[in-house]
Amino acid sequence: MHFVMLFLKGPNFSNLNKHLFSGPMLAMFLLAGCGASHQFSSIRNTGPAPKPLLVALSGRSTCDDSGVEGVPAGPAGNKLYKKALIAAVKMEQVFGVRPSIITTCYTGNSELMESASASQWVVTTPTEDEFYLDTQAQMAEATHVYVIGHSYGGWLAMKLVGDHSNFDSSSDSNTVKALFTIDPISKTLCTFSTPRGCFSAPGDLTTLDRNRIKNTTEIWVNPWQDATLYLHSSSISEADRNPKFDLAHNTILESEVVWSDFSDQFQL
């Protein structure tokens, strides 16, 4: 803490000095000195600006259909996309900069589509493998990565984080700050021809895969439900928390409790 004391010389300033450096006025100077010291300390400790990244991945049949021939489908009707935009506002308030956002949806034919803008979905990656390899490059450049996915998107989020090739256990900057898998369903095992894979957490990800996910994240939360008997996930032992909700598969992704929990993880 540093203080600067200023005394004014001359006969006309003797009374002023007496008042400035006594009683309440002296206290005000001391407080001002504390504030100034704190401000200069903050300036000295200022490092590179944070680069937050939000990855929001939707499930099957979530690409909004505009219903107008020749007009690309847009994300406006995508529930998870809307929630992600609200979360991005909170993220900007925390980090002081606008986050980058990567978001996807699946068509009714399970074709992966990525949102290249706020107005339309475009097919940019024909396979999940190409998508998460491309996304990992952006994750490596970010300082704070937050991933959330629902249904097929939850499964894709697990693959994305588990195969994060740039993960370095000695560097916090390359870990995923928070992973939320909302009622994740395997796209590989849950199909019309193999419905038995629609009643549990993704079974095509091995124990080794799940441990890799756990070691790559600071916190992994897996909200799930079984109210929808024909389509639901289950608890995952490697996740840090497995809150169960009495909500349907298609409504759990809108839970204010889930999104509030997710937003609470945004920290510098």
Q: Are 81 and 56 spatial neighbours (Cβ–Cβ below 8 Å)?
A: yes
Sign of torsion over alpha carbons 23, 24, 27, 33: negative
Q: Are 144 and 53 spatial neighbours (Cβ–Cβ below 8 Å)?
A: yes
Q: Do residues 60 and 119 both lie within one domain? A: yes
Q: Do residues 98 and 19 both lie within one domain? A: no
Q: Do residues 21 and 86 both lie within one domain? A: no
Which range of residues forms the domain containing residue 29?
Answer: 11-44
- Report the CATH number at residue 125: 3.40.50.1820
Q: Do residues 148 and 30 both lie within one domain? A: no
Tens digit of each residue's pLDDT (9 = 90 or more) over 12-71: 444 444 444 445 444 444 444 444 444 433 334 467 899 999 999 999 888 765 544 545
85 in any annotated domain: yes
1 in any annotated domain: no
Q: Do residues 116 and 134 both lie within one domain? A: yes
Q: Do residues 106 and 25 both lie within one domain? A: no
2 in any annotated domain: no
What would the mean pLDDT of 108-135 be, rounded to a whole number?
Answer: 70
What is the pLDDT at residue 26?
A: 46
Q: Are 205 and 159 spatial neighbours (Cβ–Cβ below 8 Å)?
A: yes
Strands 176-182 and 144-150: parallel
Give the CA distances from residue 68 to residues 65, 72, 155, 239, in Å, rounded to whole numbers and listed in that order. Answer: 8, 8, 31, 42
Burial class from Cβ neighbours inside 10 Å (0-12, 13-18, 19+) for residue 5 reads exposed
Question: Tokens representing 254?
Answer: 């809108």
Q: Do residues 61 and 90 both lie within one domain? A: yes
Q: Do residues 175 and 246 both lie within one domain? A: yes
What is the enclosing helix (H) or strand (E) of 135? helix 128-141
What would the mean pLDDT of 79-87 be, rounded to a whole number?
Answer: 90
Q: Note the pTM of the prediction, 2 decimals.
A: 0.78
Q: Do residues 128 and 159 both lie within one domain? A: yes
Q: Do residues 216 and 94 both lie within one domain? A: yes
Tens digit of each residue's pLDDT (9 = 90 or more) over 164-187: 744 444 444 558 999 999 999 999
At position 114, the amino acid (one-letter code) is E
4 in any annotated domain: no
Q: Do residues 16 and 95 both lie within one domain? A: no
Domain count, the chain: 2
Strands (E), the chain: 52-57, 100-106, 112-115, 121-122, 144-150, 176-182, 220-221
Chain-centre distance for alpha carbon 115: 17
At position 190, the amino acid (one-letter code) is C
201 in any annotated domain: yes
Question: Tokens representing 202?
Answer: 């993704």
